[in-house]
Amino acid sequence: MTILIQEQSPIDERRHRPTNKKSEKMKSTTIAATTTREYSTADLAFTMGLIAGEGSFFVNFSRDDRYTHNVYFVPKMSVSMGEKEEEMLRNQCRLYGLGTVNPTVKGFQWVISSRVECRELIELIDQYLEENRSTEFLSAAKHDAYENWRSALELLRPGRQLTADEVVELAELRDEINYLKAENTIPTEEIKQIVRAAESV
């Protein structure tokens, strides 16, 4: 995806492979997509502010013996807002053609969770940061989380089957990204045990 930044506003996963399912074709095996899209500086700046203030980066793990290494993992970026911000979130979703907007207990959430779309978001963010080297986002803790999430997506390139060691590395990166752990988070040490047990079968 080539991003053209304009001063004027424009006119307008593969998941890691299951052991019992066929491989799916992906749109791309690199970060760059094949389409060219145009976004205004104001649009990109607003989106970056939204992500910096209300966004969260994740790599979620769950136990699932249908998958290689007996764990399922998925990258995710979400922006959660109150019920009055549904239209704004849907506008963001439509603008970039990324993710979905879903209702939550407290309002609505813009979620991007496919490997391909997460990598398109990375390209979007990286180009903005390249064009705006003085942005305060670079000094924020959210930027550190983003960099670790970006590293996780390098492991999760579409079409790649992770090794056992890479699954453990991904779990360790998750800990750096999600420094506030949810109650149902599988500890990294437990993931190591699951992966090693699957490897020995």
Domain limits, the chain: 40-200
Taking residues 29-47, what's their average pLDDT?
Answer: 69
Taking residues 136-152, what's their average pLDDT?
Answer: 95
- What pTM value is reported for the model? 0.79
Q: Which 3 state secondary structure label does DSSP give 66?
A: coil
Q: Are 145 and 52 in contact (CB under 8 A)?
A: no
Within 65-139, residue ranges assigned H as helices are 86-96, 115-131
Q: Which of 39-43, 130-134, 140-144, 176-180 has the lowest mean pLDDT?
A: 176-180
Picking from 199, 147, 156, the residue whose alpha carbon sits closest to that of residue 26 is 156
Taking residues 149-156, what's their average pLDDT?
Answer: 97
The per-residue pLDDT for 179 is 62
Q: Are 115 and 14 in contact (CB under 8 A)?
A: yes
Q: How far apart are CA 62 and CA 57, in angstroms?
A: 17
Domain spanning 40-200: which CATH class is it, in words? Answer: alpha beta
In this predicted model, which residue has the larger pLDDT, 11 or 37? 37
Residues 6+ apart with CB under 8 A from 148: 57, 173, 176, 177
In this predicted model, which residue has the larger pLDDT, 135 or 7? 135
Instruction: Provide the total of helices (H) and of strands (E) in the chain, helices listed first.
Output: 6, 6
Tell me the pLDDT tens digit for each residue of 75-92.
Answer: 999 999 999 999 999 999
